[in-house]
Amino acid sequence: MPNRLATESSAYLLQHQNNPVDWYPWGEEAFERARRDNRPVLVSIGYSSCHWCHVMEHESFEDPEVARLMNENFVCIKVDREERPDVDQIYMETVMRLTGAGGWPLNVFCTPEGRPFYGGTYFPPERRYQRPSWPDVLRSVARTFNDQPEQVEAQATQILDALRVQPDSGGSAELPGRATLPQLCVQLMQRADTAYGGFGQAPKFPTPTNLEAILLAGSHSLPDAGALEHVVFSLKRMARGGIYDQLGGGFHRYSTDAHWLVPHFEKMLYDQGQLLRVYAEAFRQTRDPELAWPVEETIAFLERELRSPEGGFYASQDADSEGEEGRYYVWSPDEVEAVLGSERGREFVQAYGVSAGGNFEHTGKSVLAHVLAGERARFRDERQLLLEARAQRIAPDTDCKIITSWVGYTISGLATAGAAFERADWVAAAARAADFVLERLTDPVRGLMRVWDGSRAKIPGFLDDHAALLCALLDLQRAGGGDRYLEAALRTADAMRERFFSSDTGDLFFTAGEDSSLILRPLSDSDGATPAAAGLAALGLVRLSELCGRSDLREIAQSVIEKQAALANRVPVQVPTLVRAAALLDLGMGVALVLGAPEDPRSQALAARARALLGAEDAVVVMSPDAAPPWLAPAWLEGRDALAGTPTAYLCRGQVCSLPAQKPEELALPVAS
């Protein structure tokens, strides 16, 4: 019989609805049961496309004897970390502090009040990988809870006290600024893999938050210790490797090896959106044509496979199909030749590293990687034929929930790409997604919501949802999507100030107000696969306050930066998104002002030139000379007119502006004082 999860809408929770485990969804009912029966609580967290989550489910949660142990000794709660990042953040931090490592599935044992006292990630059904077996863990934890309650209480109290202490809180005498960006680049380059690109060794993640920080330094011509060249090199290596889907476009989550060959195959929307923005901004700065095709193909993948009928984008695609990880994506030489024929098949096999021995888990199958650089156009038709053949396989499942913050990253990626490549259709795609969020995921009473489950919006939005949407709306307005998105950005910023900012402490919290189901009100998450929410919020607030002259928003951003100044000054590599905000606050945002009818082709040509010259965090405003938008700070207009009634553009940074230009080729960045 299905358990309580059968009535949920989360794809991850529904994957567990037929487990013999008596799962509860997150909520008061589970904790009330735990208090009534004086049982420990197991909080088990994962997400629908997680390979190791599937492994632990099949090995343990589907086993009747293991389920009996769980049901007799614990109140068991299943959590979708994508729906409840606040819950995940608290318990992930616990496990990181206890073990020094984290990941999913995340399994944390708590008191009946939800205070953690022990936890870990994946546990096998029998002892292996130097890990205890899951049944042994269950028996040991239950025995300790029942026989040594004082020890459990002491451990839970100690952990909760530690979680309440924020490292490097209390600010610093010196605010980070423009000099912090080069320092961050130096620290990153100390970990740079100069042979294969990226940072560190296996497993290797794309880390778009690091790449964006380096690109900001490059946009301002700040010394970067060769980091900008390393970003371009890394982007090319990723796009040629197996972490990139050579047939269908889009990026898998990370590479299991140092040279980007064999990935974990789940495709996450947040990776696509962030990497689109990185590739587009790197292309804007370098005009390197080899950075163009990953953008075009990834957008095609998004529109083909992740776009919802209503206009949003789905969350992810699974790593597994037919019960095996990667089965959908890998090829043998015979399979390639069966589609392409012998001669073309042999050429393709050589170019894309397919061998009889294979490169994927001794299966005789290979992950496609572009071995011969510079020959991609040669195999365009072959890739299309193989993509069509692959479509006949059983595809991995798609998690069709829509997450506001992840759509925000994708709007930013599409808008930035549209501006960099002058593709109005990509800007229009970003606008459709933004309209979906503003119409379907915005409640008149509850405000911005986090999740669209196919029929309704649910779960009030967190700080990352507001921050990602704020930056997305700014990027969309910059790309020419329309001034109404700037007005929506102001509403989003005001909601962020009201719901998440504490004037008493100067912090932006991750959750709005107090949630009685949480053991504490968490502050921002950390930079990782996605930006730290507080850092991204500060970045958006700096951009918006500069453009609109909103000193109250600037003060919030500065307060957030001050709270983490000690960490940013000492180890900026740990907070790259916050460092971007601090640097932009110090440098001043660039603003292009185009005075001319927005529909005039001459105005549009000047705006396109301005977008090519200015960095991704800067702004471009196109306006009729006699109709200034109400949100624009008056200081940007002082002394600036359309000359002789002809569209005229100015590029400004701070108090320094370029000479007026009426032809795109005349437009130039102002010389800083």
Instruction: Give the CATH number, domain containing residue 232.
Output: 1.50.10.10
Distance between CA 265 and CA 42 in Å, rounded? Answer: 28
Domain count, the chain: 4
Residue 357 lies in a domain: yes
Residue 375 lies in a domain: yes
43 and 23 assigned to the same domain? yes
Distance between CA 449 and CA 436 in Å, rounded? Answer: 12
What is the chain's alpha carbon radius of gyration, rounded to the nearest angstrom? 26
Provide the 3-class DSSP secondary structure of residue 244.
strand
44 and 55 assigned to the same domain? yes
Residue 568 lies in a domain: yes
Residue 100 has pLDDT above 80, yes or no: yes
567 and 468 assigned to the same domain? yes
160 and 125 assigned to the same domain? yes
364 and 447 assigned to the same domain? no
Average pLDDT over residues 104-115: 97
628 and 646 assigned to the same domain? yes
Residues 167 and 563 sit within 8 Å (Cβ to Cβ):
no
Residue partners of 637: CB distance under 8 A and separation at least 6: 593, 628
Residue 166 has pLDDT above 80, yes or no: no
Distance between CA 448 and CA 273 in Å, rounded? Answer: 20
Residue with tokens 């000479």: 659
Q: Which residue has the higher pLDDT, 231 or 517?
A: 231
Residue 312 has pLDDT above 90, yes or no: yes
Kindly indicate the confidence band of residue 129, based on its pLDDT and cuts at 50, 70 and 90.
confident
Provide the 3-class DSSP secondary structure of residue 388.
helix
The DSSP code sequence of 211-223 is HHHHHHHHHTT--
Position 389, amino acid: A
Residues 319 and 49 sit within 8 Å (Cβ to Cβ):
yes
Residue 170 has pLDDT above 70, yes or no: no
Residue 507 has pLDDT above 70, yes or no: yes
CA diameter of the chain: 87
Residue 462 is predicted with a pLDDT of 97
580 and 627 assigned to the same domain? no
Tally the C-alpha atoms within 13 A of residue 466's C-alpha that lie toward its C-beta. 29
Residue with tokens 């009747």: 64
Average pLDDT over residues 548-567: 96
CA neighbor of 586 nearest in space, from 176, 10, 139, 110: 176
Give the tens place of pLDDT for each residue, 152-163.
Answer: 999 999 999 999
Distance between CA 9 and CA 92 in Å, rounded? Answer: 23
Kindly indicate the confidence band of residue 374, based on its pLDDT and cuts at 50, 70 and 90.
low
Kindly indicate the confidence band of residue 168, based on its pLDDT and cuts at 50, 70 and 90.
low
Average pLDDT over residues 304-328: 95
426 and 517 assigned to the same domain? yes
To 10 degrees, what angle do helices 292-301 and 269-286 make? 150
Residue 672 has pLDDT above 70, yes or no: no
Kindly indicate the confidence band of residue 167, based on its pLDDT and cuts at 50, 70 and 90.
low
Distance between CA 95 and CA 117 in Å, rounded? Answer: 10
Average pLDDT over residues 476-487: 97
Residue 323 lies in a domain: no
- How is residue 448 written in tokens? 């911005």
Query: How far is C-alpha 355 from the geometric centre of its chain's CA atoms?
Result: 34
Residue 169 lies in a domain: no
Give the tens place of pLDDT for each residue, 190-206.
Answer: 999 999 999 999 999 99
Average pLDDT over residues 482-496: 97
Residue 471 lies in a domain: yes
Distance between CA 510 and CA 615 in Å, rounded? Answer: 28
Residues 292 and 235 sit within 8 Å (Cβ to Cβ):
no
Query: How far is C-alpha 265 from the geometric centre of its chain's CA atoms?
Result: 17
Point out which residues pair with 462 in neighbouring strands.
none
Distance between CA 593 and CA 585 in Å, rounded? Answer: 20
Kindly indicate the confidence band of residue 373, based on its pLDDT and cuts at 50, 70 and 90.
low
Q: Which of 164, 196, 218 is the last residue of a domain?
A: 164
Residue 405 lies in a domain: yes
CA neighbor of 649 nearest in space, from 614, 612, 616, 621: 621
- Over 275-311, what HEC string results? HHHHHHHHHHHHCCHHHHHHHHHHHHHHHHHHECCCC
Q: Which of 587, 603, 638 is the last residue of a domain?
A: 587
Distance between CA 405 and CA 461 in Å, rounded? Answer: 9
CA neighbor of 134 nearest in space, from 107, 99, 98: 107
Element (H, E) at 623: strand 619-623
Residue 174 has pLDDT above 90, yes or no: no
Residue 609 has pLDDT above 80, yes or no: yes
124 and 244 assigned to the same domain? no
Q: Which residue has the higher pLDDT, 428 or 224?
A: 428
Distance between CA 138 and CA 107 in Å, rounded? Answer: 11
231 and 252 assigned to the same domain? yes
426 and 507 assigned to the same domain? yes
Average pLDDT over residues 70-94: 97
pTM across the whole model = 0.95
- Over 87-140, what HEC string results? HHHHHHHHHHHHHCCCCCCEEEEECCCCCEEEEECCCCCCCECCECCHHHHHHH
Point out which residues pair with 656 in neighbouring strands.
653
Q: Which of 572, 587, 602 is the last residue of a domain?
A: 587
Supply the CATH number for residue 111's domain.
Answer: 3.40.30.10
Structural domain boundaries, residue 636: 590-666
Residue 169 is predicted with a pLDDT of 53
Kindly indicate the confidence band of residue 172, based on its pLDDT and cuts at 50, 70 and 90.
low
Residues 619 and 474 sit within 8 Å (Cβ to Cβ):
yes
Element (H, E) at 637: none
The DSSP code sequence of 419-482 is HHHT-HHHHHHHHHHHHHHHHHSEETTTEEEEEE-SS-EEEE--HHHHHHHHHHHHHHHHTTS-
Residue 672 lies in a domain: no
Q: Identify the top-confidence range among 31-35, 96-100, 650-654.
A: 31-35
Distance between CA 428 and CA 289 in Å, rounded? Answer: 23
Distance between CA 18 and CA 451 in Å, rounded? Answer: 24
**Parallel/antiparallel/unpaired status of strands 106-110 and 41-46:** antiparallel
199 and 289 assigned to the same domain? yes
Point out which residues pair with 501 in neighbouring strands.
508
